[in-house]
Amino acid sequence: MPGKYQIFKNIEIKNLILVLVLLSIPLFIIIFKLIKYSEESEFCGKCHSMEEQYKNWSHMAHKNIKCIDCHLPNDNIFNHYVWKGIDGVKDVVSETLSIKDDYEIHLSEHGKKVLQQNCIRCHSDIVSHINTNRNCFECHRNISHKMITNFCNFNSNGGADIYE
């Protein structure tokens, strides 16, 4: 009676490597396409908790900017994909396991820092003279998500007064 792994003794290593390479090519293509798809704003809008934000974003000033351009670190590719994985898994798990229909995704402290860094990255020409003690999105929440919770007025010192 032949051994349990007798079949593998007849396969040459080079053939095994060839088969593994041929099988891995479609796998890498699928993974690459999934990563690219998950970087599209339409993907972000698929979650129930983001439907309203996605709908609002698609009619706002930043509609040509992807969600990941604001909500993920863009200082280096490694940091970008690490946080894409962390935030993506957290949001998908929260959305999937949420029993309530009114589940809302909220920005973490890290997310707030990233959002602020990305506002400054894109708008550095106009924010260099503004008071940086305040986050841009405190006054400009309605730029992408129509979430107006307060009103800002720019004062003569270049800062913003917030009226709640």
Reported as a single tens digit per residue, the pLDDT across 52-96 is 888 888 888 888 899 999 999 999 999 999 999 998 888 888 888
H or E segment at 161? strand 160-163
Please report which residue ranges of the chain form alpha helices under DSSP H: 6-9, 13-37, 41-44, 51-57, 67-71, 77-97, 109-122, 124-127, 136-139
Mean pLDDT of all residues in 36-59: 85
| Rounded mean pLDDT, 11-31 | 90
Contact 144, 62 (CB under 8 A): yes
- Structure confidence by residue, pLDDT tens digits, 133-164: 788 887 777 666 665 444 444 454 444 444 33
pLDDT recorded at residue 149: 46
Q: What is the dihedral of CA 107, 59, 76, 28, to 10 degrees?
A: 100
Higher pLDDT, 83 or 3: 83
Rounded to whole angstroms, how far apart are CA atoms 130 and 133? Answer: 9
Choose between 6 and 67: higher pLDDT. 67
Helix/strand/coil for 32 = helix
Cβ(136)–Cβ(107) below 8 Å: no
162, containing H or E segment: strand 160-163
Confidence band (pLDDT; 50, 70, 90) for 101? low
The CATH number of the domain covering residues in 38-129: 1.10.3820.10
Break the chain into its structural domains and give their ranges. 38-129
